[in-house]
Amino acid sequence: MKDTHKIPEIIKKGRIDNKDECYLLYNQNMFGNKALVWDSYNEILKSGWKGQVCIRGRRARISRGKVIYDVDLSEVPKIIKQFENEGVPEDHIGFNQSMPNEYLVIQGEVMRTHLGLSLWYTTKKEPMNGALRKESLYAEGLKAKLILENFVNPSSYSDLESLMELFPDSAIEFSTYSINVGNIPNRNTVIWEVRNY
């Protein structure tokens, strides 16, 4: 993948300044556990995935508000065509597995501040953008730490701490489930973004 030579520079500065940097690290598995992802409809088919998918922008070309959740595979070609008709080619579209929202326990953003941990979160069992509009909770310091430790299993919590060490001033966007999820065994939390933008 092009631009991988930039990864050491991003790690060294300890911050992620734009979506292109975020996607570069995400796609190189630098954030740890994540949903299964594909760069094209053909990749989904070749993988043997049979479940639903989410369709989102790659390379910062499609806004978060245009993410389409829980799409049956049979509908994907039609949605790709709709994006193309709007001037968005397929190589600007990314796909990830639909997550098991019925098992969501907490999701949101966490970061370190001068007060300790700062946690903006929701417990609604639906995709994060809509869930945070319906319920937006906040905790900081010891309370935030205890909330996370209550829901995030030890392996996933260790992953969060490692990310906060690498990117001490970054917001980490995550979703935690009551079951193991993602591409790394024994994790109940997936990381969506790490950012300073």
Residue where a domain stops, chosen among 70, 97, 124: 97
Task: For residues 164-190, give the mean pLDDT.
Answer: 97
117 and 190 in one domain?
yes
105 and 93 in one domain?
no
116 and 90 in one domain?
no
What confidence score (pLDDT) does residue 63 get?
61
Give this prediction's pTM.
Answer: 0.88
**Model confidence at 157, in pLDDT bands (50, 70, 90)?**
very high
Asked whether residue 140 is domain-assigned, the answer is yes
Note down the domain range covering 57: 37-97
Asked whether residue 27 is domain-assigned, the answer is no
Q: What is the 3-state secondary structure (H, E, C) of the chain?
A: CCCHHHHHHHHHHCCCCCHHHHHHHHHCCCCCCCCCEECCHHHHHHHCCCCCEEEEECCCCCCHHHCEEEECHHHHHHHHHHHHHCCCCHHHEEEEECCCHHHEEEEEEEEEECCEEEEEEECCCCCHHHHHHHCCEEEEHHHHHHHHHHHCCHHHHHHHHHHHHHCCCCEEEEEEECCCCCCCCCCCEEEEEEECC
